[in-house]
Amino acid sequence: MAAPEPAWQPEAPPLTTPWTDQVGPDNALPEYPRPQLTRERWLNLNGLWDYTGGDNATEQILVPYPPESGLSGVQRHDDQMLYERTFDVPADWSGQRLILHFGAVDQRAEVSVNGKQVAVHEGGYTAFSADITDAVEPGAPQQLTVAVSDGNETQPYPVGKQRNDPGGILYTGASGIWQTVWLEPVAPSHITGLDITPDLTGFGITADAAADNGEQVEVAVRDAEGNEATRTSGPAGEPVRVDVPQPHLWTPDDPYLYDLTVRLLGADGAVLDEVGSYTGLRTTGLVNDEQGRPRMALNGKIVFQHGPLDQGYWPDGIYTAPTDEALRFDLDKTKELGFNMVRKHVKVEPARWYYWADRLGLMVWQDMPSLPIDLAIPPEDSPPPTEEMKANYRTEWVDIIDQLRSSTSIVAWVPFNEGWGEFDTAEITDLTRRTDPTRLINPSSGVNCCYSLPDSGAGDIYDDHTYVGPGAPTVIDGRAIVDGEYGGLGLAEEGHLWPGEPSAYEMTESREQLTQRYGEVSDELARIIGANGLSAAIYTQTTDVENEVNGFLTYDRQIMKPDVASVRAHNTAAIEAGSR
């Protein structure tokens, strides 16, 4: 008798988090992945798939953890990947259209069902879907195949900090399927997307539909206690205005959200489709302070925006948090430290990350993942991006904005960081404005440093990077001034280090010294806020990342390095100093 095949096991990552051991084939991110457009019926396709990478033999991989991660069970990079699995369509889905969804696949994916190609997608940060109804074969298991190519920085796509040879401020790549894969049944006429734009008295909503037969949409709004606040109807596919009586605004101190039920109605009034969603009421913009200096505002009031640089990397899952609890954890700690915002740095997160930011009350600056750049080449010799790279950037940036535009927490878009792959800054700022005219634009974070092109004067924000800093920019025009990065105080905690040499912008020797230095830097920040009219400050960073040890938390999330009460007191003081 042949020996049974060994059961799938994760690989041991260099560091484990508190959630590493909770991950397995039966509970790989089981949560519904799209909180702002929910349906009751769906099928999660996360779990064990067959995987063939390059010239290697077929093995099993745990989706949606990238092959480079220990949690995947593979823990290596392959430029070419083939994912395969079967699934059964539930019997009670008969008569419905079947939509296959991917949260994200890096970089180029070709999807087939039963040998029929149903989707081709390029770009590693955006969701995509396919109607697979006509490819399904009745009465048999369905064969799903995803062929992926990903060369990290060798290909003409945005990559953020992913690299084939990581080190310093560049990290391990995350290839292939790295967000949830799932299937849902929908009626032939169904809602395909919701675009929600809030303000101080209500919101506009556009419910796109898969049919155009004069359908109407009905929007019911419930307050936090579950009581219906209002109900409004309008044509599908067109903006519908929803005024909310006695509006309760969203702020970091009071992240109040309204729940929505959106129904698609036929000409006879019959309900064709129903989805759930939510929104918060808020605005973002610029106002002048008493001295005439432009300042960033929330809901028309000056609110100093203070938070950490959040890179979204995990030692066990690389780009993919091991569990939903882990995904929330970093944001919980950010709130605990007294911050009111977070900068999502050159990465796009799964939809549930923004859901937690909305729920917990953290304003978000959303970066565009950078195009590839060789940091070993001096800025003056660094070649500009190719036309293909520029085209891929434009397409993916617009898709990212469209995908995230309904997130209450996002208050600013950041197209470029420190000049990495920067091009046509004013044009990209204009593209960003046309795509979303409701949020502030920080065209070039770190415009004073590194590989940045000369200041274009475009956008709403002038952004200074100074380490250790804090930087002290001054108002030069109608843009708000911010410290887009500063800090970087390091502490190496033995037993909690990634393999390699620890690095930071300034190393400290103990938790006490780190706490003291953070206080000193924060005191200087508070002075600059008052003297210069600074609108925001982003401290590097939430957690250690690989060899960088300048996080509040170690990379494994096991140790909070500085004293929380001291950090919180200084952060609260800075926010108060800039919000008066």
At the top level of CATH, the class of 20-186 is mainly beta
pLDDT value at position 313?
98
Amino acid at 386: T
For the chain, the average pLDDT equals 97
Query: Is pLDDT at 329 greater than 80 in this prediction?
Result: yes
Residues 6+ apart with CB under 8 A from 151: 79, 107, 164
The total of other beta-carbon atoms located within 10 Å of residue 164's CB is: 13
Q: Are 219 and 231 in contact (CB under 8 A)?
A: yes
The structural domains of the chain, with segments of one domain joined by +, span: 20-186, 191-198+200-279
Q: Model confidence over 479-537: pLDDT tens digits? A: 999 999 999 999 999 999 999 999 999 999 999 999 999 999 999 999 999 999 999 99
- 53-61 contacts: CB < 8 A, separation 24 or more? 53/78, 53/80, 53/81, 53/82, 54/78, 54/79, 54/80, 60/8
pLDDT value at position 485?
98
pLDDT value at position 139?
85
Separation between Cα atoms, residue 453 and residue 389, nearest integer Å? 17
Q: Are 123 and 107 in contact (CB under 8 A)?
A: yes
pLDDT value at position 301?
98
pLDDT value at position 4?
55
- Give the pLDDT band (50/70/90) at residue 389: very high
- CATH superfamily label, 191-198+200-279: Immunoglobulins (2.60.40.10)
DSSP character for 170? B
Separation between Cα atoms, residue 453 and residue 483, nearest integer Å? 18
Separation between Cα atoms, residue 438 and residue 285, nearest integer Å? 8
Separation between Cα atoms, residue 178 and residue 172, nearest integer Å? 14
- Of all residues in the chain, what percent carry a pLDDT higher than 70? 99
- Give the pLDDT band (50/70/90) at residue 580: confident
In 3D space, the residue among 443, 551, 441, 567 whose CA is nearest the CA of residue 488 turns out to be 551
Mean pLDDT score, 465-487: 98
Instruction: For residue 561, count CB atoms less than 10 angstroms from its CB and return exposed for 0-12, middle for 13-18, buried for 19 or more.
Output: buried
Mean pLDDT score, 143-159: 97
Q: Model confidence over 212-241: pLDDT tens digits? A: 777 899 999 999 999 999 999 999 999 999
Residue linked to tokens 């044509």: 235
Q: Model confidence over 103-113: pLDDT tens digits? A: 999 999 999 99
Mean pLDDT score, 429-440: 98
Mean pLDDT score, 281-296: 97
Separation between Cα atoms, residue 20 and residue 323, nearest integer Å? 8
Q: Model confidence over 13-58: pLDDT tens digits? A: 999 999 999 999 999 999 999 999 999 999 999 999 999 998 889 9
Query: Is pLDDT at 177 greater than 90 in this prediction?
Result: yes
Q: What pTM does this model have?
A: 0.97
